Amino acid sequence: MHASKKAIPPSVVKRLPKYLAYVQALCLEKVEWVSSNELAEQLGLTSSTVRQDFSYFDFSGISKRGYETIGLQNMLINILGVDTAWQVVVVGAGNLGRALALHEEFPRRGFNIVGIFDKDPTKLGMKVGALDVKPMRELPTVIGRHKVNMGIVAVPAVAAQSVADLLIVAGVKGLLNMALTHIVAPDTVSVIDSRIVASLLELSHSVSFSR
Amino acid sequence: MHASKKAIPPSVVKRLPKYLAYVQALCLEKVEWVSSNELAEQLGLTSSTVRQDFSYFDFSGISKRGYETIGLQNMLINILGVDTAWQVVVVGAGNLGRALALHEEFPRRGFNIVGIFDKDPTKLGMKVGALDVKPMRELPTVIGRHKVNMGIVAVPAVAAQSVADLLIVAGVKGLLNMALTHIVAPDTVSVIDSRIVASLLELSHSVSFSR
DNA sequence: CTCTATCTGTCAAACTTTTGACGAAAGGGA
DNA sequence: TCCCTTTCGTCAAAAGTTTGACAGATAGAG
B58-69 pLDDT, tens digit each: 999 999 999 999
Same domain, yes or no, for A48 and A98? no
Residue of B nearest to A17 (CA): B198
Q: Residues with Cβ < 8 Å from A130, sequence gap 6 or more?
A: none
Same domain, yes or no, for B40 and B139? no
Among A80, A115, A139, which residue terminates a domain? Answer: A80
Among B80, B106, B135, which residue terminates a domain? Answer: B80
Same domain, yes or no, for B92 and B116? yes
Same domain, yes or no, for B98 and B186? yes
Whether pLDDT at A2 is above 60: no
Q: A3 falls in which pLDDT band (50, 70, 90)?
A: very low
B175-206 pLDDT, tens digit each: 999 999 999 999 999 999 998 999 999 999 99
SS3 content of chain B, % helix, strand, coil (to 5): 45, 15, 35
Q: Is A2 part of a structural domain of the chain?
A: no
**pLDDT value at residue A92:** 98
Q: Is B38 part of a structural domain of the chain?
A: yes
Which residues of chain B are within 8 Å of residue A127 when distances are taken between CB atoms?
none
Same domain, yes or no, for B65 and B97? no
**pLDDT value at residue A209:** 86
Same domain, yes or no, for B21 and B54? yes
A169-197 pLDDT, tens digit each: 999 999 999 999 999 999 999 999 998 99
Residue pair A149/A173 in contact by the 8 Å Cβ criterion: yes
Q: What is the CATH number of the domain that holds A143?
A: 3.40.50.720
Burial class (CB in 10 A: 0-12, 13-18, 19+), A93: buried
Q: Is A149 part of a structural domain of the chain?
A: yes
Question: A48 is in which domain, residue-wise?
Answer: 10-80
Q: Is A206 part of a structural domain of the chain?
A: no
Detail the protein residues whose CB sits closer than 7 A to any atom belonging to strand D. A 9-12, 45-46, 48-49, 51-52, 62-65; B 35-37, 47-48, 51-52, 54-55, 60-67
Q: A45 falls in which pLDDT band (50, 70, 90)?
A: very high
Same domain, yes or no, for A67 and A29? yes
B66-81 pLDDT, tens digit each: 999 999 999 999 999 9
Same domain, yes or no, for B56 and B92? no
Mean pLDDT of chain B: 95
Same domain, yes or no, for A138 and A41? no
Same domain, yes or no, for A67 and A94? no
A87-143 pLDDT, tens digit each: 999 999 999 999 999 999 999 999 999 999 999 999 999 999 999 999 999 999 999
Q: Is B4 part of a structural domain of the chain?
A: no
Q: How many CB atoms lie within 10 A of CB A77?
A: 18
Within 13 Å of residue B102, how many CA atoms lie on the same side as its CB?
A: 19
The continuous run of DSSP H or E covering A18 comes out as: helix A10-28
Question: Cα angle vertex B175, ends A27, A91, to 5°?
Answer: 75
Q: Is B205 part of a structural domain of the chain?
A: no
Residue range A55-76: mean pLDDT, rounded: 97
Tell if the CB–CB gap between A204 and B13 is shorter than 8 Å: no
Amino acid A63 CA to nucleotide D29 C1' distance, rounded Å = 17
Q: Is B191 part of a structural domain of the chain?
A: yes
Q: B119 falls in which pLDDT band (50, 70, 90)?
A: very high
> Which nucleotide is at minimal CA–C1' distance from A48?
D19
Among B61, B80, B99, which residue terminates a domain? Answer: B80
Same domain, yes or no, for B151 and B188? yes
Q: Say how many domains are in chain A.
A: 2
Q: What is the CATH number of the domain that holds B46?
A: 1.10.10.10
Same domain, yes or no, for A109 and A65? no
Which residues of chain A are within 8 Å of residue B150 when distances are taken between CB atoms?
200, 203-204, 207
